[in-house]
Amino acid sequence: MLDLGFGKIESYVKLEKLGEGTYATVYKGTSSLLSGYIALKEIRLEQEEGAPCTALREVSLLKGLKHNNIVSLYDIIFDKTTLTLVFEYVEKDLKQYMDDCGNLLHMKNVCLFLFQLLRGLEYCHARKILHRDLKPQNLLINERGELKLADFGLARIKSFPTKTYSNEVVTLWYRPPDVLLGSTEYSTPIDIWAVGCIFYEMACGRPLFAGAKVEEELHLIFKYLGTPTERTLPGVTSNIDFQALRLPFYYGEPLSRVISRLDQNGIDLLEKFLRYNPNSRISARDAMTHKFFSCYPPEIHTLGPLQSILDLDEISLTKDHGSKLISSSLMKTTISKRSSVHL
């Protein structure tokens, strides 16, 4: 960033608006400093207090994260009213990709995207960083099929011993039951539950737990996975929020009955993601060596952080039915599908 031209807004040209949120507006742009397109995320600093806080958090975290499966931050520009973050431009997010495929991804691509999600997440978790807002809209997919974690506005560095955080994190559909029940002490397993929900959504074509509010979300989770007990979620029976639910006792049903597109290894991995006890959920590192990924060559585990798994000859994006990249003319209409401005 000390290179001539970096840190100056005049080094960039806006081409079109991609989306707008409460605190930020994202533009597609170009720069004489960088090849290809870039994304400009303009954050309004004159808004209420939360905006600068989340913006600076995202900046501080992304500056230290250099990985092929994490969106790259190229430049930071300050002025009196805005903070502009310059990111690599990525064609679409996972939600848009699934929509374009009629919500029916090829299983090879489910495997491809899931492994890359775990790879980027393991890199974060090894550095004690929790994303806390994993969802399809925050996972970007480029033309090559590379998946990149984005929108680190809610991310936190996990300190030890356990630190108390807010339980108002993670979009409702991807929020684990312990957090839904009020837990503010959590670690990396908060992201792993979200990975399980995204895994199911990619394989099945629909969200697993699509509740409109907390009570409905818990109801759906209990209905599918069974009502938690002291064995599966220690301390749950004395939890005030749990006691107030007054839901019927559910025994749950095997996930193999809920989704037929996953083989035995896929079901086993999904169950390990979606365990009630956060301490029992599989880690991102262990998940990457699960038998579900046995189709990949051993070399995939020795790649450097900046290398892509798609650099391996055996791995490539499979053409999905109806899949096509978003052209510039379609970008403005499809961007409305995103629930928030990311990048």
Active site residues: 133
At 133, the amino acid letter reads D
Whether 272 has a binding-site annotation, put simply, is: no
DSSP β-bridge partners for residue 156: 130
Give φ, ψ of 113 to 5 degrees: -70, -40
Length of the chain: 343
Environment class of 283 (CB within 10 Å of its CB; exposed 0-12, middle 13-18, buried 19+): middle
Inter-residue contact 145 to 320 (CB < 8 Å)? no
Annotated binding site for ATP: 41
